[in-house]
Homo-oligomer: A and B are copies of this chain.
Amino acid sequence: MAQALRVALAGLGTVGGGVIRVLDENRELITRRAGRPIEVVAVSARDRAKNRGVDLSRFAWVDDTASLAEAEADVVVELIGGSDGPALALARRTLAAGKGFVTANKAMLAHHGLELARAAEAAGQPLKFEAAVAGGIPVIKGLREGAAANAIARVYGILNGTCNFIVSKMEAEGRDFAEVLAEAQALGFAEADPSFDIDGVDAAHKLSILASLAFGTAPAFGDVAISGIRHLLAADIAEAAALGYRVRLVGVAEADAHGLFQRVHAHLVPNDHPLAHVTGATNAVVAEGNFVGRLLFQGAGAGEGPTASAVVADLIDIARGEFGPPYAMPADALATSGAADSGERRGRAYLRFAVADRVGVLAEIAAAMRDAGVSIESLIQRGANGDGSVLVAIVTHEGPERCVAAALERLRGSQSLMGEPMWMHILG
């Protein structure tokens, strides 16, 4: 039997414990598949005394996480999280020490992925991050390798399980956002501070990683246009349903002559699209290649088992020696693409206004649309809400997004509007 791959593990939260459990429970199978054993040899976490349900006494304990880089190991697995701080320090020090690095840390990759890829390439060591996007779904591998023969025109998907759990529960039960969020928090599907999830930041981190792999461009998290689901009403979901759509928070990245376009936004997804059937905390990613057509990858986007499964898959690749440049090509070969102007994009939009129930409001909205050059496909006005407002929902014909933006600008500050309008894109 070949020599074991020795692993040092930083972070013993849910996923860290999961990695130990996967390696324990599937030991024989993993050894056969990897061609050699994969052994955790050292661990580091904040609290040594905490009961994690796994026996840690067989591992060397390292108090100072960053010094795991010097443990007697071949690979360091980082499951601490956070874009900077200890995680980044450990990544830099590990790669500088000429060891492999595996991480589930999307925030760190979104901000520092290119630097770390360069360091890994310089060291001739692996930097792998399957668990950073879409949990257990092998979509990093799917893009880096499975779809590698294709020019990818677009990659998009449901990248945040918390949001999808909330939206699909709102949909199934006809309930409003705040109420369902509270329930998701009670069930452990949403954090106490949920803003990274519900405001789209987490999905944007993941999208920037997918975009880089799909298009061969340097990661550009700063160019992602981000919004979330905080202002979504049960009524929006009901209107969408009446029109043949479901609402999903979708991250979309597209590369064309205008540059690289990246956006996380609530979308109306046609009922016959596979993403419309993705419910609960499930994630799904679609890649559109110029030869392969539409590929869909779907599965559990988070959680102990799925995320640990992805981390260990990376370790198996490393044990097999089957790895190469982290972003599929050398970091210096990645193109730098300017951010595309969303105004130039064409599409159909859903707009919803909460308006005062009085004469002339509809005319005001219709005039703003007309004056901005937005062509209306359908308009529904529903009776008064509890707060005296009336909902007006519009679906536009296909047109440039700048016209929609201009129409909303015209309506800004209008006395007729109660609260911010809701603008969703229709997935085409």
Contacts and interface: CB of A to CB of B under 8 A. Distances in A.
B148 A33 contact: yes
A292 B309 CA distance: 6
Interface stretch (A94-102, A138-146, A363-371): A138-146
Nearest to A284: B296
Contacts of A150: 22, 26, 309
Given A138-B147, A313-B148, A294 B299 contact: yes
Contacts of A313: 145-149
A149 B137 CA distance: 12
Given A148-B313, A277-B277, A306 B291 contact: yes
A148 B316 contact: yes
Interface string A292-329: 11111111100001101111110111001111110011
Contacts of A297: 295-298
Contacts of A145: 138, 141, 313, 316-317, 322
Nearest to A294: B299
Nearest to A324: B320
Taking residues whose C-beta sits less than 8 angstroms from the other chain, chain A's interface range is 35 or more
Interface string A384-402: 0000000000000000000
A324 B272 CA distance: 39
Contacts of A243: none
A289 interface: yes
A120 to B, nearest CB: 15
Most chain B C-beta atoms within 10 Å of own C-beta, residue among A26, A137, A150, A293: A150
A335 to B, nearest CB: 9
Nearest to A293: B300
A323 B323 CA distance: 9
Contact of A333 (B26, B32, B298, B322): B32
A151 B292 contact: no
A113 interface: no
A178 interface: no
A306 B311 CA distance: 29
Given A35-B329, A145-B316, A329-B35, A293 B306 contact: yes
A291 B277 contact: no
A57 to B, nearest CB: 23
A29 interface: yes
A18 interface: yes
A274 interface: yes
A298 B274 contact: yes
A125 B137 CA distance: 29
A324 B32 CA distance: 13
A251 interface: no
Nearest to A146: B138
Contacts of A237: none
A55 interface: no
Interface of A: 18, 21-22, 25-26, 29-30, 32-35, 130, 136-138, 141-142, 145-151, 216, 272, 274, 277, 284, 289-300, 305-306, 308-313, 315-317, 320-325, 328-330, 333
10 contacts: A22-B150, A25-B291, A26-B149, A29-B151, A33-B148, A136-B293, A138-B141, A284-B296, A291-B312, A292-B299
7 closest cross-chain pairs (CB), A and B: A138-B146, A149-B312, A136-B292, A291-B305, A292-B309, A296-B298, A291-B309
